[in-house]
Structure 1
Amino acid sequence: MSYQGDVTPGGPPDVRELDALTITKVAVGPMANNAYLLRCRRTGEQVLVDAANEAPRLLELIGPAGLTTVVTTHQHMDHWVALEETVAATGAGSLAHPADADGLPVVTATIDEGDRVRVGESDLEVVHLVGHTPGSVALLYRDPGGIPHLFTGDALFPGGVGNTRGDRQAFESLIGDVQRKLFDRLPDDTWFYPGHGRDSTLGTERPSLPQWRARGW
């Protein structure tokens, strides 16, 4: 079966094979967080986006190939419960934006707007999206042979931007960054992978941007 991105805690992962990268999406409990394992198909090097929870399950997914890097999309605890154990078991580097790094148990280096995270022979562009947290980041993979792929953490979901807890200034910052840095830059076929739930494309969500801005969340 082709990739659908529909995973549930305790259920099997879903795997998407691109020319240069393999994307494995898994959901972990208790808050149904998504974690994404990216593997370079040429070198076998692997990067994990959000060591959210269930470290033994993530380590089984990583397997004997090991792990180069863990990127934490933001500082909320449900996205890093397994971070310390995963880093200790694999020796991987732990990356986060400096504005969120103090909220994490282990960070070996920081990343910011425009930086690149290597996945073997491929790389991910760091996009800083302020509002859900001060240091939230998305990771953009521009597939040379296909569509862009975007890992958005909790900054963008099908149906809206991430929760800004009624803070109007934070919401305006987040919706502005999401529109300017994602929707205004990337094509409709860009596939995005959020921190919880199912995936979507920018084209599917684009018509709703005015409604999101008007409702204020």
Structure 2
Amino acid sequence: MIIKQFQDKPLAHYSYAILSNKSIALIDPSRDPKPYYYFADEHNAHIVAIFETHPHADFVSGHLQVHKETKATIYCSKLIGADYPHESFDEGDVLTMDEVRFSALHTPGHSPDSISVLAETDKDTPVLFTGDTLFVGDVGRPDLREKAGNKKAKRKELAQAMFSTINNKFNHLPDETIIYPAHGAGSLCGKNMSSDSSSTLGKERTQNWAFKKLTEQEFIDHLLAEQPFIPSYFGYDVDLNKQGAKNIEKEIYNIPFHMNVSRCENQHLVIDTRDEEEFKNGHLSNSINIMARNEDDKIETWLGAIVQPNEKFNLIVDKATNRQEILNRIAKIGYESHIQTIMTLGSFNMIVSSPLEFEHFKNNTDDYTILDIRNKSEVEQNKVFDKALNIPLNDLRDNLDQIPVDKPIVVHCAGGYRSAVGFSILSKNIQETKIFDLSEKIKEFK
């Protein structure tokens, strides 16, 4: 049994290919199936099975496209109520693929329909693919399925289910069992995940807080406390994954593209993915700057947090040769269908932003309204400016009326990426006062 782990860094997502002789099974595949096809070609093997541990909230799975293109069977829990062709795979079910035996454990907690997939052979160490149930150092958050999915559940009910899962479902497995989760540090599907990409059940039993001797109420209280914000797109992706997404190549290639534009032909929102300096030196009206310069810029998360699932938008890229890469990233959350047109900008009729006079601000902070758009937990740990107004970035568009406009407004976050987004949102919506971005200068106040 050969296991290949694939990492999608911006979403902190792990997917897997399990090879046995000339057969391959996939676990929780990403939207774009090409990496799995390359792996199959490399080993002259065929993808015959796809396991979905649950309907994912933070990314769109490519399970349906892989099924259509390879004829591989999709296996998932009957509790999902999946609309795509599949075979149910629930506790007690076993699938044999050459030398590998796959069996299902019903492991609710992150979602009511979660399964973990155990892979065993006669000679290899057991491997458990835990989806969003058990992470390295943490467990999956239980508050994502109150408004989405075929089988809804309240967060407290799922927290109770997670307590039962951790205390009862893995007891028959030895300490050496290898743990492969669907996410690592940086994912919004948990709050305290390790940067390690795998672990063992024995290590988690001794180091993961969830395995400590806690009462059910202590477990629930800890699990529900201080979970990260929930981006707007999460419920949308749960429903999309339950249906099965369309072919990624067909979806992104059908979007119109125009070069060197000076204005939009429609009134929809504009998402400008260029560097913040380029944006401030010239942009279209109605624009929000969500940068996509590299993998560290999490456009997937912030686009899905700021733009609603039913909201159409136009997309600005820095140059034509980068459009496919950015479209592929946006398609990971299923938002490619919202794009009306893709554009590069000309150099005329652009809106130019004024820079902050930093020394004046530094010496006269009371002359400004300071807006801190970090998450509330970040502010509680370290409030940079005593009189700053805190509105987290993901809530900003819905709370613009809370921001005073009697003084110039300076936006800050922790390092500059989010403040560029927040600055552009305010500049788009507030005309009666000057808006400034503190950007990386925030580091001088820490």
Fold match (TM-score > 0.5): yes
Letter in 1 for 2:99: E
Which residue is equivalent to 1:199?
Answer: 198
Which residue is equivalent to 1:168?
Answer: 156
Shift of 1:52: 2.2
Letter in 1 for 2:212: P
Which whole-Å CA distance do the structure 2 matches of 1:148 and 1:79 have between them?
Answer: 27
Map 1:102-121; keep pairs closer than 5 Å. Answer: 102=82, 106-121=84-99
Which residue is equivalent to 1:8?
Answer: none
- Shift of the 142–136 alpha-carbon distance from structure 1 to 2, 3 Å rule, reads same
Over alpha carbons, which structure has the higher Rg?
2
- Shift of the 52–78 alpha-carbon distance from structure 1 to 2, 3 Å rule, reads farther
The superposition leaves residues 130-184 of structure 1 with CA deviations (integer Å, 9 ceiling, x where unpaired) of: 12112111111234224221110011011122110282221111121132111x2
8 A Cα contact 1:83 1:106, kept in partner: no
8 A Cα contact 1:73 1:136, kept in partner: yes
Shift of 1:118: 2.1
Shift of 1:84: 1.9
Which whole-Å CA distance do the structure 1 matches of 2:28 and 2:204 have between them?
Answer: 24
Which residue is equivalent to 1:5?
Answer: none
Which whole-Å CA distance do the structure 2 matches of 1:56 and 1:30 have between them?
Answer: 18
Letter in 2 for 1:99: L
- Shift of the 147–196 alpha-carbon distance from structure 1 to 2, 3 Å rule, reads same
Map 1:14-25; keep pairs closer than 5 Å. Answer: 21-25=1-5
Shift of 1:28: 2.6
Which residue is equivalent to 1:86?
Answer: 66
Which whole-Å CA distance do the structure 2 matches of 1:79 and 1:137 have between them?
Answer: 17
Map 1:24-43; keep pairs closer than 5 Å. Answer: 24-28=4-8, 30-41=10-21
Which residue is equivalent to 1:13?
Answer: none
Residue 75 of structure 1: which of 43, 55, 58 is its match?
55
Name the one with the larger strand percent: 1
Which residue is equivalent to 2:104?
Answer: 126
8 A Cα contact 1:35 1:52, kept in partner: yes
Letter in 2 for 1:173: A
Which whole-Å CA distance do the structure 2 matches of 1:59 and 1:78 have between them?
Answer: 23
8 A Cα contact 2:99 2:121, kept in partner: no
- Give secondary structure in 2 for the equivalent of 1:67: strand
Measured on the aligned residues, the alpha-carbon RMSD in Å equals 2.1
Which residue is equivalent to 1:95?
Answer: 75
Give the TM-score, by structure 1 length: 0.80
Question: More displaced, 168-177 or 26-35?
Answer: 26-35
Could you list the runs of 5+ residues in structure 1 that have no partner in the other structure? Answer: 1-20
Which whole-Å CA distance do the structure 2 matches of 1:79 and 1:178 have between them?
Answer: 25
Which residue is equivalent to 1:59?
Answer: 37
Give the TM-score, by structure 2 length: 0.41
- Give secondary structure in 2 for the equivalent of 1:58: helix
- Shift of the 152–58 alpha-carbon distance from structure 1 to 2, 3 Å rule, reads same
- Give secondary structure in 2 for the equivalent of 1:204: helix
Question: More displaced, 111-120 or 163-172?
Answer: 163-172
Could you list the runs of 5+ residues in structure 2 that have no partner in the other structure? Answer: 144-153, 185-196, 224-446
- Shift of the 86–149 alpha-carbon distance from structure 1 to 2, 3 Å rule, reads same
Name the one with the larger helix percent: 2
Which whole-Å CA distance do the structure 1 matches of 2:45 and 2:126 have between them?
Answer: 26
**For this pair of structures, how many residues does the alignment match?**
192
Letter in 2 for 1:195: A
Percent of aligned positions that are identical: 26
- Give secondary structure in 2 for the equivalent of 1:186: coil
Letter in 1 for 2:177: T
Which residue is equivalent to 1:47?
Answer: 25
Higher relative contact order (Cα pairs below 8 Å, separated by 6+ residues): 1
Which whole-Å CA distance do the structure 2 matches of 1:48 and 1:82 have between them?
Answer: 10
8 A Cα contact 2:28 2:61, kept in partner: no
Which whole-Å CA distance do the structure 2 matches of 1:54 and 1:38 have between them?
Answer: 18
Residue 157 of structure 1: which of 119, 127, 135 is its match?
135
Letter in 2 for 1:28: D
Shift of 1:117: 2.1
